[in-house]
């Protein structure tokens, strides 16, 4: 058994993992994953995604050979094709016709060489990254306020803080291990409080003392109101303001213009005055306050202003650079921070140097000995895809991101790629929506095979180490880039033979011309202390927070404790911000559309979507609708509904809930064409961006809603996945695929009438051996068929006017073992399941496979705490990711029991017994 310490490849918490394997086999069935007890980010804990990593391993579905125009080829041919394609494009149209679109999921070393190749050698500034959709507003806000893009605090501030303000961040699901640290403080410190600021009720609200369900986009008004309140109540830190900041008077005046009184704020934010007052008082009175924010802040037309409105309140109270206090931007991806360090954004050059300072820019050219240093900022993501659509950019290399799913106006992005003469995509899987648009496909090494570093939300650099020798056919991203660079003739700057060598160069660049002597030139990102690491030391590198230099050889937990910032004057800048005007919804698209993440899925689901137990939490794409809107549009739970606007349309199941405000809808961002036919949320979002950061407003779309009544619905289970051509036979409007472990499940529905089923099965070359067709009258249609060969179930089809109900877990089991006579009989009865019970309710605890139906039953029988539920059912006792949902179920169920009249209550418990 070998044990390796590495880092989780999902969220920006950056948890340390201890991974043990017995052998090096490619199918990787033996991987044992645990939290690394010694890693400062998680101290042994992992969330549900991290603990399910073992199930994402293996070679199934992997891209393991390069392809040119869909035809397999060897590596030399592929590298040559990439280099020739780029050369020709540059020769004919100049370097500005080639671009790269990178990702916060690349390792720092991959990112560094990609950026160096394009900005230093090819000479194109058009390198941007999916961090533009994620962190750009924070980067811009940090630079305005601090003169550099730095997160001031560290995770240890959590244990010191007593007031947590979560703004546009659902940490319970998206930064679960950090959220557990917050929960522990709330449980053990009587004065500790959590305030959640989010237009939607999320799992994070379950632990909150106050939820401000504000009008979407009104955060600047709320925080400007807070600044006014702090001034009015005499809660300012005048000493800090005068010694360490500039621009306070203007910022306060700007805040007071719109938000001088609580009443003004309450009216603009749609919040009760009492709630606003409560939040303001709590903030005013608690020195130890941490404001943690994420996409509800960044992904907005005024995202940068939101960031600065928050920072202003911390500067005004001197709550920065101190233990337990500060504004804290939560990064999303495992290396969102690392990408910012290497300069992966189009408006940066490298190593925290941008295009605004010619002397610093020259340093980069000198250090790289760059023949073609980019001179001015390149296109930001939205502009980049527009330039592709215009035909200005003719060659694009996409790495570790899936823009056909994750960019706004995603259909336009897809069309732009279809027009682009050369689309190179490096990915780890054979099929993603973006790979399906590629001319050249390059197989990259995946987590557990690759080796390098990532930086988490608290600036901590950790090693991702390989656990397995790489599968034949795939290469590390940095290696692919270096081979292309060599083929382009740039042999000098790219003759690296390991990630360690690249890291050392990256560290050396951070030190170049960055001496402490000249404060004005001092750059925040300085890891000179790591520039001399030997290969062995790099291999052993323990997690460390930058800056790491002679002044801080063991890293730096907190910045700005000395009150000095990276601006020209060394003082932090207040930014005078104003709440922008609220747009009215149009008559054609009267509903607001919010989007975000689910607990068990990662982005476009290329990894998590194939893990059956992660898929069971929310198996189908949905739109959450407030009951008032549902009534208005005549929509019931599980109905199919269409969302539509000028950019595109979706067809989803309706989920009715009071979590979002009336007039507002919520869709998960995750589904791609690989899992559903019309569920890519981003086809509906306009590519409107924040003017300062270029970050798209992915939280506030506008749509029309209507119920769709299907003529037929079907459930198809097959032993093997069907090809798109096979699925097209059904001519369905709605299709959602759920991998179940031993079979694939497809839910289908259409508004056109179902063609002859016998004919359809014939086209699929499916021969039924069990068969049952009920009356076929009018639109009512009931059809059941299955194929059982040698007691093995091969497929099952149920079709009718309603969505067929059958226990999926039970069915999945039938694919894994010989079919019993009883099972054979029950297969077509529609009531099949363990003891005839159907339980397709949401899988709440993925670790122990506990569904909500079972949990509700236990609650009705007296389990009235999460601890009791854990004792009885084990739910919530492993990773703890489901605890907020267990608490929510408890609250809901207990309230329901208490409200029900006695007889009703008995009836209810009889039913669930
Ligand atoms: N499970 C899981 N975890 C993840 C990821 C994942 O895919 N799955 N992705 C990772 C990545 S890359 C990122 S960037 C992070 C994102 O982490 P979060 O930012 O927490 O994620 P979201 O769910 O996109 O959005 C957060 C909240 O913003 C709210 N919001 C919308 N509009 C507004 C507004 O105007 N004001 C305020 N105050 N709030 C608003 C939404 O209702 C939503 O609840 O998660 C990371 N962690
Ligand atoms: N509507 C809406 N849209 C959003 C958001 C939202 O909240 N709402 N959030 C935005 C945000 S914050 C983000 S970060 C983006 C995320 O969106 P994307 O970056 O597009 O999503 P992923 O699915 O993470 O894409 C990563 C791709 O890299 C591949 N991959 C994994 N490991 C490797 C590797 O080692 N090397 C290579 N070459 N490839 C690899 C995966 O298979 C996958 O295809 O989505 C953005 N889009
Ligand atoms: S919180 Fe979960 S997804 Fe995020 S790094 Fe930790 S284990 Fe991975
Ligand atoms: Mo992100």
pLDDT along the chain (913 residues), means of 10: 94 96 69 94 95 88 96 98 98 98 98 98 98 98 97 97 98 97 96 98 96 98 98 98 98 96 97 98 98 98 98 98 98 96 95 92 96 96 98 98 98 98 98 97 96 97 94 96 98 95 97 74 91 96 96 94 94 97 93 97 95 90 98 96 98 97 98 97 98 98 97 92 92 94 94 81 88 53 83 90 81 90 76 61 87 90 92 92 90 74 36 30
If asked whether residues 415 and 496 sit together in one domain, one would say yes
Q: Say if ligand 1 is within 6 A of residue 599 CB.
A: yes
Q: Are 186 and 290 in contact (CB under 8 A)?
A: no
Residue with CA closest to ligand 1 atom 47: 174
Atom from ligand 3 closest to the CA of residue 51: 7
Ligand nearest to the CA of 595: 2
Q: Say if ligand 3 is within 6 A of residue 14 CB.
A: yes
Residue with CA closest to ligand 1 atom 36: 296
Substitution site in 9, 295, 309 for ligand 1 pocket (most atoms within 8 Å of beta carbon): 295
Ligand nearest to the CA of 456: 3
How far apart CA 343 and CA 346 sit, in angstroms, is 8
Q: Does residue 582 sit within a domain?
A: no
Q: What pLDDT does residue 837 have?
A: 63
Taking the centre of ligand 2 as the mean of its atom positions, its distance from the CA of residue 406, in whole angstroms, is: 7
Question: Which residues in 119-248 belong to E strands, given as ranges?
Answer: 127-129, 163-167, 193-197, 210-212, 245-246
Q: What pLDDT does residue 780 have?
A: 43
If asked whether residues 126 and 149 sit together in one domain, one would say no
CATH number of residue 470's parent domain:
3.40.50.740
Kindly state the DSSP code that residue 205 receives in the 8-state scheme. Answer: G
Burial of 564 per CB tally in 10 Å (0-12, 13-18, 19+) = middle
If asked whether residues 368 and 475 sit together in one domain, one would say yes
Atom from ligand 1 closest to the CA of residue 294: 19
Q: Say if ligand 3 is within 6 A of residue 102 CB.
A: no
CA 303 to chain centre: 17
Substitution site in 12, 17, 42 for ligand 3 pocket (most atoms within 8 Å of beta carbon): 42
Q: What pLDDT does residue 807 have?
A: 81
Tally of CB atoms within 10 A around 87: 16
Taking the centre of ligand 2 as the mean of its atom positions, its distance from the CA of residue 566, in whole angstroms, is: 32
Ligand nearest to the CA of 597: 1
Domain boundary among the residues 305, 329, 353 is at 329
How far apart CA 322 and CA 328 sit, in angstroms, is 12
Residue with CA closest to ligand 2 atom 6: 596
Atom from ligand 3 closest to the CA of residue 175: 1
Q: What are phi and psi of 620, to 5 degrees?
A: -120, 150
- Residue ranges around ligand 2 (CB below 6 Å): 103-105, 130, 133-134, 295, 299, 332-333, 399-403, 405-406, 426-429, 432, 444, 446, 450, 477, 595-596, 603-604, 606, 669, 681-682, 685, 698
Atom from ligand 1 closest to the CA of residue 602: 7
Q: Say if ligand 3 is within 6 A of residue 10 CB.
A: yes
Q: Does residue 520 sit within a domain?
A: no
Atom from ligand 2 closest to the CA of residue 442: 38
Q: What pLDDT does residue 24 have?
A: 62
Lay out the sheet containing 16-21: strands in order across: 2-7, 16-21, 32-35
Tally of CB atoms within 10 A around 582: 13
If asked whether residues 92 and 193 sit together in one domain, one would say no
Domain boundary among the residues 682, 708, 734 is at 708
How far apart CA 41 and CA 43 sit, in angstroms, is 6
pTM of structure: 0.95
Ligand nearest to the CA of 598: 1
DSSP characters over 430-475: S--TTGGG-SEEEEBPPTTT--EEEE-TTSEEEEE--SSPPPTT-B
Atom from ligand 1 closest to the CA of residue 333: 12
Q: Identify the three-state secondary structure at position 283.
A: helix
If asked whether residues 93 and 75 sit together in one domain, one would say yes
CA 544 to chain centre: 24
Domain coverage including residue 896: 843-912
CATH number of residue 161's parent domain:
3.40.228.10
Ligand nearest to the CA of 429: 2
State the total domains in the chain. 5
If asked whether residues 355 and 254 sit together in one domain, one would say no
If asked whether residues 130 and 145 sit together in one domain, one would say no
If asked whether residues 431 and 303 sit together in one domain, one would say no
- 402 Cβ neighbours under 8 A, 6+ residues apart: 432, 433, 434, 603, 604, 606, 672
The residues facing 622 across adjacent strands are 653
Substitution site in 669, 689, 703 for ligand 2 pocket (most atoms within 8 Å of beta carbon): 669
Residue with CA closest to ligand 1 atom 42: 200
If asked whether residues 130 and 141 sit together in one domain, one would say no
CATH number of residue 906's parent domain:
1.10.10.1100
Taking the centre of ligand 4 as the mean of its atom positions, its distance from the CA of residue 338, in whole angstroms, is: 13
Q: Say if ligand 1 is within 6 A of residue 456 CB.
A: no
Taking the centre of ligand 3 as the mean of its atom positions, its distance from the CA of residue 709, in whole angstroms, is: 40
Q: Does residue 28 sit within a domain?
A: no
Substitution site in 7, 13, 56, 174 for ligand 3 pocket (most atoms within 8 Å of beta carbon): 13
Domain boundary among the residues 687, 708, 729 is at 708
Q: Say if ligand 3 is within 6 A of residue 11 CB.
A: yes
If asked whether residues 740 and 822 sit together in one domain, one would say yes
Taking the centre of ligand 2 as the mean of its atom positions, its distance from the CA of residue 670, in whole angstroms, is: 9
Residue with CA closest to ligand 2 atom 25: 401
Q: Does residue 107 sit within a domain?
A: yes
Q: Does residue 141 sit within a domain?
A: yes
Atom from ligand 2 closest to the CA of residue 336: 14
Strand 71-72 and strand 67-68: the pairing is: antiparallel
In total, the chain counts a number of residues equal to 913
If asked whether residues 240 and 179 sit together in one domain, one would say yes
The position carrying tokens 């961002």 is 669
Q: Say if ligand 1 is within 6 A of residue 169 CB.
A: yes
Substitution site in 62, 103, 596 for ligand 2 pocket (most atoms within 8 Å of beta carbon): 103
Taking the centre of ligand 1 as the mean of its atom positions, its distance from the CA of residue 609, in whole angstroms, is: 19
Q: Does residue 487 sit within a domain?
A: yes
Question: Which residues in 474-603 belong to E strands, given as ranges?
Answer: 544-545, 572-573, 591-596
Q: Say if ligand 1 is within 6 A of residue 597 CB.
A: yes
Q: Say if ligand 1 is within 6 A of residue 295 CB.
A: yes
How far apart CA 861 and CA 659 sit, in angstroms, is 27
Taking the centre of ligand 2 as the mean of its atom positions, its distance from the CA of residue 401, in whole angstroms, is: 4
Q: Does residue 790 sit within a domain?
A: yes
Alpha helical stretches, state H, 722-835: 724-728, 757-763, 808-816, 821-827
Taking the centre of ligand 1 as the mean of its atom positions, its distance from the CA of residue 699, in whole angstroms, is: 9
Taking the centre of ligand 1 as the mean of its atom positions, its distance from the CA of residue 173, in whole angstroms, is: 9
Residue with CA closest to ligand 1 atom 8: 602
Q: Does residue 24 sit within a domain?
A: no
How far apart CA 642 and CA 281 sit, in angstroms, is 44
Residue with CA closest to ligand 1 atom 12: 332
If asked whether residues 279 and 202 sit together in one domain, one would say yes
């Amino acid at each position: 058994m070998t044990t390796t310490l590495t880092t989780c490849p999902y969220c920006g918490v950056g948890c340390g993992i201890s991974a043990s394997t017995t052998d090096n086999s490619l199918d990787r069935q033996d991987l044992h994953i645990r939290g690394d007890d010694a890693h400062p980010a998680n101290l042994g804990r992992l969330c549900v995604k991290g603990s399910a990593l073992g199930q994402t391993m293996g070679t199934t579905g992997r891209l393991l050979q390069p392809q040119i125009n869909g035809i397999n080829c060897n590596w030399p041919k592929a590298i040559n094709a990439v280099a020739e394609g780029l050369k020709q494009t540059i020769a004919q149209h100049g370097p500005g016709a080639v671009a790269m679109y990178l990702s916060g999921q690349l390792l720092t070393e991959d990112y560094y060489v990609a950026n160096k190749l394009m900005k230093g050698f090819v000479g194109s500034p058009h390198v941007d990254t999916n961090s533009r959709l994620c962190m750009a507003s924070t980067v811009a806000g940090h630079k305005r306020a601090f003169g550099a893009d730095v997160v001031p605090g560290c995770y240890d501030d959590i244990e010191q803080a007593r007031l947590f303000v979560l703004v546009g961040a659902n940490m319970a699901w998206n930064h679960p291990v950090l959220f557990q640290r917050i929960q522990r403080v709330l449980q053990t410190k009587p004065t500790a409080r959590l305030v959640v600021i989010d237009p939607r009720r999320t799992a994070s609200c379950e632990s909150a003392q106050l939820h401000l369900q504000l009008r979407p986009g009104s955060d600047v008004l709320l925080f400007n109101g807070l600044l006014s309140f702090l001034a009015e109540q005499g809660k300012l830190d005048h000493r800090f303001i005068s010694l360490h900041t500039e621009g306070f008077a203007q910022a306060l005046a700007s805040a007071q213009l719109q938000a001088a009184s609580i009443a003004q704020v309450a009216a603009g934010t749609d919040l009760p005055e009492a709630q606003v007052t409560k939040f303001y008082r709590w903030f005013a009175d608690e020195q130890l306050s941490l404001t943690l924010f994420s996409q509800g802040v960044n992904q907005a037309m005024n995202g940068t202003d939101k960031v600065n409105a928050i920072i202003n309140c911390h500067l005004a109270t001197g709550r920065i650079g101190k233990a337990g206090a500060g504004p804290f931007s939560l990064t999303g991806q495992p290396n969102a921070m690392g990408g910012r360090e290497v300069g992966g954004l189009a408006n940066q050059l490298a190593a925290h140097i941008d295009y605004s300072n010619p002397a610093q820019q020259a340093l980069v050219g000198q250090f790289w000995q760059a023949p073609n240093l980019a001179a001015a900022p390149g296109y930001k993501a939205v502009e980049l895809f527009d330039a592709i659509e215009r035909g200005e950019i003719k060659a694009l290399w996409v790495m570790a991101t899936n823009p056909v799913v994750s960019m706004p106006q995603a259909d336009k992005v897809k069309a732009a790629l279809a027009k682009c003469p050369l689309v190179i995509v490096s990915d780890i899987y054979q099929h993603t929506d973006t790979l399906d648009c590629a001319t050249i496909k390059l197989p990259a090494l995946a987590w557990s095979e690759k080796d390098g570093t990532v930086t988490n939300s608290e600036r901590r650099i950790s090693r991702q180490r390989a656990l397995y020798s790489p599968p034949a056919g795939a290469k590390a991203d940095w290696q692919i880039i270096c081979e292309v660079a060599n083929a382009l003739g740039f042999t000098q700057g790219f003759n690296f033979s390991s990630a360690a060598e690249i890291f050392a160069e990256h560290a050396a660049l951070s030190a170049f011309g960055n001496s402490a002597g000249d404060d004005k030139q001092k750059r925040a990102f300085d890891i000179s202390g790591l520039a001399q690491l030997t290969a062995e030391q790099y291999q052993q590198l323990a997690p460390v927070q930058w800056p790491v230099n002679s002044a801080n050889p063991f890293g730096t937990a907190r910045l700005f404790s000395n009150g000095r910032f990276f601006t020209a004057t060394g003082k932090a800048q207040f930014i005078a911000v104003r709440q922008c005007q609220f747009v009215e919804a149009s008559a054609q698209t009267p509903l607001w559309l919010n989007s975000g993440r689910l607990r068990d899925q990662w982005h476009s689901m290329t990894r998590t979507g194939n893990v059956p137990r992660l898929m069971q939490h929310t198996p189908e794409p949905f739109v959450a609708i407030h009951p008032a809107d549902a009534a208005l549009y005549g929509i019931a739970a599980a109905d199919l509904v269409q969302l539509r606007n000028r950019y595109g349309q979706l067809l989803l199941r309706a989920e009715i809930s009071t979590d979002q405000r009336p007039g507002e809808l919520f869709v998960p961002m995750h589904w791609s064409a690989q899992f559903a036919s019309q569920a890519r949320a981003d086809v509906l979002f306009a590519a409107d961006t924040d003017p300062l950061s270029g970050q798209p407003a992915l939280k506030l779309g506008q749509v029309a809603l209507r119920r769709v009544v299907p003529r037929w619905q079907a459930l198809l289970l097959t032993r093997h996945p069907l090809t798109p051509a096979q699925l097209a036979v059904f001519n369905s409007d709605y299709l959602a695929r759920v991998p179940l472990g031993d079979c694939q499940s497809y839910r289908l529905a259409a508004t056109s009438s179902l063609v002859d089923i016998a004919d359809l099965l014939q086209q699929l070359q499916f021969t039924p051996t069990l068969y049952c067709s009920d009356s076929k009258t009018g639109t009512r249609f009931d059809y059941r068929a299955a194929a059982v060969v040698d007691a093995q179930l091969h497929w099952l089809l149920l079709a009718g006017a309603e969505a067929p109900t059958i226990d999926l877990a039970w069915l999945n089991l039938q694919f894994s073992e010989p079919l019993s006579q009883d099972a054979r009989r029950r297969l077509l009865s529609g009531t099949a399941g363990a003891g005839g019970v159907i339980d397709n309710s949401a899988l709440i605890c993925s670790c122990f496979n506990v569904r909500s139906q079972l949990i509700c039953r236990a609650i009705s029988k007296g389990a009235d705490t999460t601890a009791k539920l854990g004792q009885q059912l084990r739910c919530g006792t492993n990773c703890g990711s489901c605890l907020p949902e267990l608490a929510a179920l408890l609250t809901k169920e207990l309230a329901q029991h208490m409200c029900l009249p006695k007889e009703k209550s008995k009836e209810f418990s009889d039913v669930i017994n």
